[in-house]
Amino acid sequence: MDNDTLRNLFNAGAILLVLDAPHNQLEFGIDVNCWNIGPRFKGIKFIPPGAHFAYYSLHNTKSTAPNSADTSSGSSGTVEVTEGGTTGGDVRIGFWHQFESGEVVVMKWNAYNEEMELEKDMDQIARYKAGIQEFDPFLGSYPLLPPESTYPAWIKLADHITKSSIASIFKADGFVNSHDDQLEAELSRATKIINRQQKGEGEKAGGEGQQQPTSGSMSGQGHEAGVDDTEMPESQREPNQKTFGAPKDRSDNQSSATFTPIDLRASFRKGAVGEEVTRYSLDKSWLLNNVFTSAFKSDVNAFLGEYQAAFVTMLLSYHLGAFRQWKTMTLLVSQSSEAISSPNYTRLFSQFIQALHRQLTSIPSSFFMDLLFASPDQDDMTANFLEQALRTLARSIQSALRRGQCLELRQPMHALQKAVQENFEWKIPGDFKKIQKVVEIVSDDDDDEYEEEGEYAPIRAPAVELKPHARWHHLGLPL
C-alpha cells in the first residue's frame, strides 16, 4: 500500500487510543477482531465510520508471535491474535461507540480498578488529536483491506445499529460488563435443574420394586422436593409474585445495558377475555404490534438495531441479559403469525429473516448447543428453542403464501431454510423455491405447530364469540 493511500486512510478513519494497558495480560478486540496486545500497543487506527464494539479482558496469556504494535505502520506485521480467538478472557468489558470520520477516542487503563476509562476532558482529547502522528507507529490497523479484511463480516452483523440504538441501550458511556447481576442466578438455576433430573433418573434406576414417596409425603411439604419458589416458573408462583408488562417503560438501574422489556407471557391486551386471550397467547402478533409501535415508533431500523446489538453483545462479551433479549425478540417475531399476513409488517419480517440468516451463518453450529440455549421451559434443557421457533415461522409464512400473501418473504425464507440445513442439519418445513399456488385455507390446525410449556405456556380461556375482524382491530392493523 502506497503512502498516499495510508495517509488518506489515517485521516478518514477513526482512531481508538488505548493507553497504559498492561501488555501480555490484556486481550483486546474490536468487532470480530481480537488480539493479545504487546508492550508497544497504544490503540487501533483505520476504524471505518459507524457503530463498533471494542472489548477487553484481563488474563495471563503471553505472546508467542511478533506483534504489529511493535512495528512501524508501513510494515507487513499484523496484530497478534490470541490463541482461541474470542474465548481468551474470563470476564469481558465491552464498549459501544459510533465512530465518526477523523475522530479520536481515548481510553486509559486504571490500574487501581483494573478497567478502562474514557477520557472526557475535551482539552486533553484535543491535545492527543493534535499529536496523533506520534502514536502512529504504535497503532494496530483495523483489518479493513483484503485479504485480511473483516469489515464486510462486521457490517453483516451490525448494519442496523445506529448512534441512537447505542445511546438508548448502553447508558454507562457505552460500556457493558459480561458479569451482570443475573449470570450467577441463571447458572445456579440451570445446575439445579440438571442435578434434579440426574437425581430422579438415579432414584428410578435404583428404586425398582420400591415404593416411591409422593411429593406431598416428604416432611409435610406441599410441592415437589428440591424445588423452591425461586426455581419455579412465574406462572406457578403465587399471584402476588407475578410481574407482567408488555412492553414496560425503560427504567434506569445499575445495569449497563437496558434493553426494551418484552414479556412474552403478557401477549394480549388488558381486558381481553375468552377466545382473544387464547388466540394471542399462542400468536404474539398483538404484542409485536404493541412493542413495535410504542417502543420502537414503527421504525424497522430501530427494532433490528436493538436485535443486532443484543446478538453482538451476547456473542462478543458473553452478556447474559443480551442473550435473553435476542432470544425474546427472536421468539416474538417467529410466533407472530397473523402479523405476517399484514403488508404493514412485510419489511420488518423480510429484514428480520435476513438479519437472522447472517447471524446464524457467522458463528459455529456448536455455539447453539450451549446449556443456556434451551427452550423457555426451564424443566426441558434439551430442546433447541431456535429450531422450534424457525419451524413455527416457516409454517406461518407457508400458510400466508398459500393465500397469496407476503410473497416478498419467499426468497429470504428459502435462503434461511437452506442455510440452517447446511450449517445445523435442521429441517425447516415448507417449499419456498417457487410461488405457492393460492388455495383456500380452512384451518391451519394440522400444521403441528410448536407450543411452549412451563412458564411460557399459552393461556387457554373459554371461547367467546368475537366480531368479524376483531383480532385485527386489536392489532391496530387495517380491516
Same domain, 252 and 138: no
Please check whether residues 148 and 270 belong to one and the same domain.
no
Please say whether the beta carbons of 165 and 309 come within 8 A.
Answer: yes
What residue numbers bound the domain in which 59 lies? 3-158
- Choosing from 112, 140, 158, the residue where a domain stops is 158
Q: Which is more confidently placed, 426 or 229?
A: 426
Examine the domain organization and report whether 287 and 146 are in the same domain: no
Nearest alpha-carbon partner for 387 in 414, 415, 424 = 424
Read off φ and ψ for residue 450, nearest 5 degrees: -75, 130
Q: How far apart are CA 230 and CA 220, in angstroms?
A: 19
- Average pLDDT of 18-43? 91
Residue 256 — very low, low, confident or very high, per pLDDT cuts 50/70/90? confident
- The rounded percent of the chain whose pLDDT value lies above 90 is 45
138 and 237, same domain (yes or no): no
**pLDDT at site 437:** 56
pLDDT on residue 362: 87
Kindly report, residue by residue over 83-121, the tens digit of the pLDDT.
333 334 468 899 999 999 999 999 999 999 889 999 999
**CB atoms closer than 10 angstroms to residue 281:** 24
In a domain, 208, yes or no: no
What is the rounded average pLDDT for all residues in the chain?
A: 75
User: Nearest-CA neighbor of 118 among 95, 134, 140?
Assistant: 95
Amino acid occupying residue 462: P
Identify any residues that bridge with 14 across adjacent strands, giving them in sequence order: 47
Stretch among 170-184, 274-288, 316-330, 411-425 having the lowest mean pLDDT: 170-184
Residue 37 placed within a domain: yes
pLDDT at 183 over 90: no
Q: Provide mean pLDDT across the span 431-441.
A: 63
pLDDT score at 184: 56
What pLDDT score was predicted for residue 61? Answer: 44
Most confident of 236-245, 328-337, 364-373: 328-337
Exposure pattern of 179-192 as b/e (b: 16+ CB <10 Å)? ebeebeebeeeeeb
For residue 247, give the CATH number of its domain: 1.25.40.550
Distance CA 339, CA 458 (A): 18
User: Rounded to an integer, what distance in angstroms lies between the CA atom of residue 390 and that of residue 330?
Assistant: 9
Is the predicted pLDDT of residue 269 greater than 90, yes or no? no
Q: Of the residues 137, 158, 179, which one is the last residue of a structural domain?
A: 158
Is residue 376 scored above 90 in pLDDT? no
Residue 164 domain-assigned (yes or no): no
> Of 161-175, 300-314, 436-450, where does the model show the most confidence?
300-314
d(CA 402, CA 442): 11
Q: What is the mean pLDDT of residues 299-312?
A: 97
In angstroms, the CA 328 to CA 246 distance is: 12
Question: Is residue 212 assigned to a domain?
Answer: no
C-alpha cell at 186: 441463571
Q: Is residue 60 part of a domain?
A: yes
Concatenating the DSSP letter of every residue in 335-372 gives: T-HHHHTSGGGHHHHHHHHHHHHHHHTSS-GGGGGSGG
Residues 129 and 247 in one domain: no
Domain count, the chain: 2
**C-alpha to C-alpha distance for 70 and 80, rounded to whole angstroms:** 11
d(CA 135, CA 138): 5
The span from the CA of 171 to the CA of 166, in Å, is: 8
- Which cell numbers hold the place of 150? 473483516
CB 235 within 8 A of CB 452: no
Q: 60-74, 202-216, 307-321: which has the minimum mean pLDDT?
A: 60-74
Percent of the chain with pLDDT over 70: 65
Element holding 123 (H helix, E strand): helix 122-130
Region 451-456 average pLDDT:
47
Give yes or no: residues 467 and 338 share one domain. yes
Q: Give the pLDDT confidence of 127-176 residue by residue, as tens digits.
A: 999 999 999 999 999 998 888 889 999 999 999 999 999 999 998 788 98
Whether residues 250 and 130 share a domain: the answer is: no
- Is residue 168, in this structure, part of any structural domain at all? no
Q: Residue 389's pLDDT is what?
A: 94
Domain match, 379 and 299 both? yes
> Among 131, 158, 185, where does a domain finish?
158
Residues 253 and 154 in one domain: no
Q: Does pLDDT of 80 surpass 80?
A: no
Check: CB of residue 429 under 8 Å from CB of residue 370: no
Question: What's the average model confidence in pLDDT over 390-400?
Answer: 95
Q: What does pTM read for this prediction?
A: 0.74
Quick check: 390 and 420 in contact, CB under 8 A? Answer: yes
Sorted by sequence, the CB contacts under 8 Å of residue 372 that are 6+ apart come out as 186, 190, 320, 323
Co-location of 245 and 138 in the same domain: no
Average pLDDT over residues 427-451: 59
Whether residue 416 is contained in a domain is answered as: yes
Top pLDDT among 356 and 424 is at 356
| Residue 246, pLDDT above cutoff 50 | no
Looking at the structure, do residues 277 and 382 belong to the same domain, yes or no?
Answer: yes
For residue 84, list its beta bridge partners.
none
Position 436 in a domain? yes
Q: Are both 154 and 249 inside the same structural domain? A: no
* Residue 127's CATH number: 2.60.34.20
DSSP E strand boundaries for 139-270: 140-141, 175-177
* pLDDT reading at 207 higher than 70: no
The residue type at 251: S
Rounded to whole angstroms, the Cα distance separating 439 from 437 reads: 6
Q: What is the pLDDT of residue 173?
A: 86
Q: Minimum mean pLDDT among 75-89, 134-148, 173-187, 198-212: which range?
A: 75-89
